[in-house]
C-alpha cells in the first residue's frame, strides 16, 4: 500500500521502475544494510536536504511509553519505560530531518 501511494516519488528517483517491490523485498534490502552505515548515509543526505529546505520546519516532542516489564536502558517504573523524542519535520519536503532522544520534555 505504501509503495503504491508513493509511486510518483519512487519513479522520480528510479525512472525505469515498472512496479513497486513487496514489503518483503524492502525488508530484505534494509536488513542487509549495516545500521551504523545506513545512519551515516541517511544523516549526510538529510544535511544536504537541510541546505535546500524552504518553508516550515516543524519541531515536535513525543513521549513514547512501553510495558512495565521492559528491560534496557529506558526509565522503568509502575507505568513502564518512558522515552522522550524530539523531531524536526520538513513540511515542504515531507520528510523527517532528524530526531534525538532527550532526558525530559524541558530539555
pLDDT in tens, 55-70: 888 898 888 877 655 5
pLDDT at 18 over 80: yes
Can you give the residue ranges of every domain in the chain?
1-32, 35-107
Q: Between β-strands 95-102 and 82-90, what pairing exists: parallel, antiparallel or unpaired?
A: antiparallel
Q: What is the pLDDT of residues 26-46, one digit of tens each?
A: 899 889 999 899 889 988 887
pLDDT at residue number 1:
77
pLDDT at 74 over 70: no
Left, alpha or beta for 84 (phi > 0: left; psi -120 to 50: alpha)?
beta
**Residue 73 binned pLDDT confidence (cut-offs 50, 70, 90):** low
Distance CA 76, CA 79 (A): 8
Amino acid at each position: 500500500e505504501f509503495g503504491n501511494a508513493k509511486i510518483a516519488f519512487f519513479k522520480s528517483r528510479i525512472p525505469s521502475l515498472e512496479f513497486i517491490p513487496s514489503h518483503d523485498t524492502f525488508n530484505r534490502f534494509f536488513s542487509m544494510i549495516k545500521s551504523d552505515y545506513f545512519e551515516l548515509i541517511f544523516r549526510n543526505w538529510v544535511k544536504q536536504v537541510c541546505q535546500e529546505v524552504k518553508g516550515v520546519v516543524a519541531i515536535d516532542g513525543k513521549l513514547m511509553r512501553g510495558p512495565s516489564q521492559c528491560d534496557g536502558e529506558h526509565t522503568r517504573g509502575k507505568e513502564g519505560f518512558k522515552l522522550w523524542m524530539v523531531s524536526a519535520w520538513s513540511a515542504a519536503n515531507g520528510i523527517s530531518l532528524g530526531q534525538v532522544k532527550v532526558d525530559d520534555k524541558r530539555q
